[in-house]
Structure 1
Amino acid sequence: MSKTQKEQVARLIGQAGQAVQAGRIADADAFLRRAVKLAPKDAAIWCNLGMVSAMSRRHIDAIGQFGKALALSPDLGAAHVNLARVLFEVERYVEAEKHARRALALAPNGPVELKMLADVAVRRGRTTEGAHLLNRALAIRPDWVDALNSLASVHRLEGRPHRAVELYGRCLAIKPLESAARNLVLTHYYDTASTPQSLAAAVAGWVKLHAHLAPLPAPANDRDPDRRLKIGYVSADLRNHPVAGNIEDVLAAHDRQTFEIFVYSLTAGADQVTQRLAGKVDHWRQAAGVSDAVLARQIRDDGIDILIILAGWTGDNRLRLAALKPAPLQVSWHDFGTSGLAGMDGWITDAVIHPPGQTGEEFGEELLRLPCFYYEPRPESAPEVAVPPCLTGQPVTFGSFNHPVKMTDASLALWAETMQAVPGSRLLLKYRDQFGETGLKERYVERFGALGIGPERLLFRGDTQSEADHLAAYAHVDIGLDPFPFNGSTTTWQALYMGVPVVTLAGSRFVGRVGLSLLTALGLPELAATTPADFVKIAVELAADPGRLRDLRAGMRARIDSSPLVDAAGYTRALEAVLRDFWRRRWCQA
């Protein structure tokens, strides 16, 4: 390479850095692509290009670019740690851990490297290891908010929401980190000590971070109440994910004569589900990596009438988009609670989750009640329903396949009390492959031991790879136990589909009443308790009645077939009716 070319490469790298600082990621990408053409064997440029691709949520490009960097320079630590991050984000955790460990070997005291390996360890269920690594990182950088945020999340995962709240608060006192503010809100939903006032304060704190987001000029959408409406869905979960499962058949069932369907996909790691979904709507807009302002302008230019933001509080979803008011009406669906945003007009729910006149939540949105909140797809790979294990000579086996973050101290205490009331009973715990990790199993043996339940009464499953294997594991469960104050939803549905009755404790918030909603839709509201004592009583009576367990199991699929939970057409018509009425009242008559 000539001196002139070297100078040009250096200049392009400098321009790329300036572009990143200014938030002009597309320009940075263009500069680096020009640089790498001039210096194709420069590993650092390939690494920088991978980082820019990752910023744009182009994960496949980033993985390839980091791979090229490592082919040229196998010990380039920055490439290992950044590749680990991208692999982590697309849920390729085994590969992510390999590169995270190599990065840490190259920089044993690197805070970024320590945190990267910690994040992987935590996601794989090794929270004790993760906490140790994060504490090492914080010993080097005490006020590093990203590490504090992750450590707080470890405490939340381990059932210590009070400690998590403290650490999120410490993090926010140092720097107003958006993810920490959002995590603080979410933690309140897992905390039995959370009050309406403390939750409202956490939501207000998150909203304050977005006070700078000024809404677009008022839209001029035609106020004809009966015209064909443009409905826009925004989600980062349009892949193999429960939210995608909840909406796929609904998207396909929309009446195209009266509704035109747009999807704004924030999904970075597309899969076969993504491809299927894209073929079931009128317009598919890829928006991963697109700024809020650009996305809002796209939505406005498309003339969307009602924008539905899915699961906005979670993951890479963008609840804050509602603050920009890109559509006349904005609606929240499949989310945990109120957005707190003035720009969010409606919140989809049902009369069981939010009983008229009896709702125990604070919110500013109008409640849009469906006949039944959930539509659930039948699992395609589900095996036949098995007989209850207690009828095959085994002890009564309770079970929960929920995320460990939902297994709060209060949940475990209630489950232990239930087990004490059913001598010899066992508890099977499973969540993906996480309970295959020795550290996680040891932690639960310790937690239950403190509650008087010995290790011989605990069963762990972490070896199921396919959905069919996962569902087959329910054959080993007699009675499902729902966590609280944050109920299961997909896990409850899967248990019920496999014939397993689930006992739930209904709370006062949305997240604590979804179990009741599912059971009510199946004509089984008697399995929902209103007090902890009722929870134990219901579970104990079920355990003492193997005949009822047999009948419930044998008849569950028939219940499901006749319920609104699997009626995609009926569910979609009800949703459309709610949206049409909302449109007429809130826009056409405004």
Structure 2
Amino acid sequence: MNAPHAPDYRQAPQAPQWPRRTPPSPPSLRLLAMLQEGVALDEQGHVQQAMSRFQQATQHHPDSADAWAALGMTQYHLFGAAAAEASFQRALQIDPGRVDVIEKFGIALQEQRRYEDAALVFERLLQLAPAYPLAAGRLLHCKMLIADWTRAETLQARVEQAIESGHNAAEPFGLQGYCRSPSLLRRAAAQYSATYHPPRRELQRPPVIGYGPKIRIGYVSGEFRQQATSILLTQVLELHDRSRFDIVAFDNGWDDGSPLRRRIEACVDELVPIRGLPHLAAAQAVRERGVDVLVNLNGHFGQARSHLFALRPAPLQVNYLGFPGTIGAPYIDYLIADHTVIPEAQRMHYVEKIAYLPDCYQPNDSTRQIAATPARRSDIGLPEDAFVFCCLNNVYKIVPAVFDVWMRVLRQVPRSVLMLYSDTPATQDNLRREAQARGVAAGRLHFAGNLPHDQHLARLRLADLFLDTWPYNAHTTGSDALWAGLPVLTCAGETFPSRVGASLLQTVGLPELVTHTPVAYEALAVTLATQSKQLIALREKLAAQLSHSLLYDTRRYTRNLEGLYHAMVDRARAGLPPALLR
């Protein structure tokens, strides 16, 4: 679909150039009828027919921002962000002040990883509507995704103050990247869930726990493909005891054709595609299969299906793995954790009842293969004779305070370099500029792009020490590094995502690499880089422990997880409410 050029979002935020038009005339009765019919079809689950009505509306009323906006939203839900972009642009060319469409346009750009463009759109949104829900948080998250830290401190204070005042200022997942307060994370999640995913009562009867010989577990995810959650979980799915459990996967994502996807399809009893289903139909699909425990693998992350859980299709609903924190909703009964990521004294910061695993909460796939290449540092552009620090976390986890520490470490360790993960030129330029501002030559930063997972593991072997981020630690990347034999240095905070590194290291048998202040973290990083005997001893200890480490004993982990599912179901069968499980 061809559309006129959108408003120029690339102007400087201080002086935006935005088309000015007189307010559009009121819609005709014919247009209103077409739009209402499209909305009704959409609500009934007839999305293709709804899109046809909205397309007809744009053809008969090409100057209607309402018609283009409605078409864009339907295209977005059916085909994704790229398919909707032109319609959102057309709506804004007609009515540049439509803040709801500006928001959707920004989200569409963000989902296409056009973070600079999305940030400019959210800047414009905040100029037009300073209190617009989630806008400040979305702007800050987009800036963090490209390491654009201009005004980051001011934006963070704005977001956190708004949340304290009871406003939805940030999506819970983006907030976790920089927020250090577990109480504020709970408040944000609860406000977000209450506003956007409140409990719903459309199902005709309450869910009933089953009494059959097997417990039926339903896993709901939008990431049943080559993605971090499935990388961690797939072997657990394969090892579930089929004499005691039936396993159903409810797929809110897509088939990426990967070997990991084929493994998931082969190991579950049924894989049910729900991405194209209306919420009520998806909930009925869960009910029809008699699921006892419905597991939310997304929370507030990724291709989530929160409305499904809001309909309460299963008697027990569990928050697990994909989102490291509370969902903040009354219809989620349990959160699976361990005693490190959620100490007993911090349980009040979580709406769910905590179900504790005895070791690390994070599962791992002990069958992961490490490729033979890259075999040398020169294969990926690293100097052979340097000390190589690395952090292959997503860039949004790098906050300025952490980068300050890293640059001080580089200045204290001659002939050291830092390998970071980024395939975006703008992000790399921003980080090089930030390094130079801290007295470190830009050439000491090396950037690693995306690789197949087995080659990613091989690449980790080429580094000397993994420097963790905080307050959002390495999660899958952290256990990947340890599996590859690379020691991880972490700094533990108070929030769930800031304590995952500590959980991984304690379970793998390297608690000496857990620090609790930036000062201690910095000092230990310098010590390990300048006193080779200490680091060699740590690497040898890690190598000796990997074969029998609890962190990679997936069979033991699966039995412990199943024990929690049994305990949840036993309580429900006894007529007891959810409660703390140890």
The normalised TM-score by structure 1 is 0.75
Alignment-mate amino acid for residue 163 of structure 1: L
| Contact kept? 2:218, 2:291, Cα under 8 Å | yes
1:81 maps to 86
| Contact kept? 2:283, 2:313, Cα under 8 Å | yes
- Post-superposition Cα deviations, 1:429-470, rounded to whole Å, max 9, x if no partner, equal 113x23xx1x222211232334333324322334x5433543
- Post-superposition Cα deviations, 1:377-405, rounded to whole Å, max 9, x if no partner, equal 2443533796999x996232211111111
1:375 to 363, 383, 390: 363
Rate the CA distance shift 1:140–1:482 in 2: closer, same or farther, 3 A. same
1:366 to 347, 353, 378: 353
| Contact kept? 1:16, 1:29, Cα under 8 Å | no
1:413 to 373, 397, 404: 404
1:397 maps to 388
Deviation for aligned residue 1:309: 0.8
- Equivalent residue runs for 1:37-48 within 5 Å: none
1:69 maps to none
Rate the CA distance shift 1:387–1:546 in 2: closer, same or farther, 3 A. farther
For 2:208 and 2:124, the matched residues in 1 are separated by 55
Alignment-mate amino acid for residue 158 of structure 2: E
Alignment-mate amino acid for residue 289 of structure 1: G
Rate the CA distance shift 1:28–1:305 in 2: closer, same or farther, 3 A. closer
1:317 corresponds to 2:304: yes
Alignment-mate amino acid for residue 360 of structure 2: C
For 1:318 and 1:257, the matched residues in 2 are separated by 29
1:451 maps to 438
| Contact kept? 1:231, 1:306, Cα under 8 Å | yes
| Contact kept? 2:186, 2:326, Cα under 8 Å | no
Rate the CA distance shift 1:402–1:420 in 2: closer, same or farther, 3 A. same
Deviation for aligned residue 1:110: 10
For 1:291 and 1:31, the matched residues in 2 are separated by 13
1:521 corresponds to 2:526: no
Deviation for aligned residue 1:127: 4.6
Rate the CA distance shift 1:169–1:358 in 2: closer, same or farther, 3 A. closer
1:97 maps to none
2:275 maps to 288
How many residue pairs match? The answer is: 529
Alignment-mate amino acid for residue 200 of structure 2: L
- Post-superposition Cα deviations, 1:533-581, rounded to whole Å, max 9, x if no partner, equal 2212322221123244345446645532222333332221111112112
1:29 to 39, 48, 55: 48
Deviation for aligned residue 1:361: 5.7
Rate the CA distance shift 1:120–1:425 in 2: closer, same or farther, 3 A. farther
2:25 maps to none
For 1:250 and 1:342, the matched residues in 2 are separated by 27
1:539 maps to 525
For 1:286 and 1:491, the matched residues in 2 are separated by 28
Rate the CA distance shift 1:138–1:558 in 2: closer, same or farther, 3 A. same
| Contact kept? 1:111, 1:138, Cα under 8 Å | no
For 2:309 and 2:103, the matched residues in 1 are separated by 32
Farther-moved stretch of structure 1 (340-349 vs 284-293) = 284-293
1:277 maps to 264
| Contact kept? 1:156, 1:187, Cα under 8 Å | no
1:190 maps to 177
| Aligned sequence identity (%) | 26
- Equivalent residue runs for 1:335-354 within 5 Å: 335-354=323-342
| Contact kept? 2:182, 2:494, Cα under 8 Å | no
- Equivalent residue runs for 1:215-230 within 5 Å: 216=203, 217-222=205-210, 227-230=213-216
Partner SS state of residue 354, structure 2: strand
- Post-superposition Cα deviations, 1:21-57, rounded to whole Å, max 9, x if no partner, equal 5633643524767999x9xx99x9xx99996874554
- Equivalent residue runs for 1:122-137 within 5 Å: 127-128=115-116, 130-132=118-120, 134-135=122-123
For 2:51 and 2:467, the matched residues in 1 are separated by 53
Rate the CA distance shift 1:172–1:417 in 2: closer, same or farther, 3 A. closer
5+ long unaligned stretches in structure 2: 1-29, 63-67, 577-582
For 2:206 and 2:251, the matched residues in 1 are separated by 24
Rate the CA distance shift 1:338–1:170 in 2: closer, same or farther, 3 A. closer
| Contact kept? 2:373, 2:455, Cα under 8 Å | no
For 1:585 and 1:345, the matched residues in 2 are separated by 12
- RMSD value over aligned CA atoms? 4.3
1:153 corresponds to 2:141: yes
Partner SS state of residue 217, structure 2: strand
| Contact kept? 1:251, 1:281, Cα under 8 Å | yes
Deviation for aligned residue 1:492: 1.3
2:289 maps to 302
Alignment-mate amino acid for residue 189 of structure 1: Q
Rate the CA distance shift 1:310–1:208 in 2: closer, same or farther, 3 A. same
Higher helix share: 1
5+ long unaligned stretches in structure 1: 1-10, 67-78, 86-99
| Contact kept? 1:262, 1:284, Cα under 8 Å | yes
2:38 maps to 19
Alignment-mate amino acid for residue 408 of structure 2: E
Deviation for aligned residue 1:487: 0.3
1:199 maps to 185
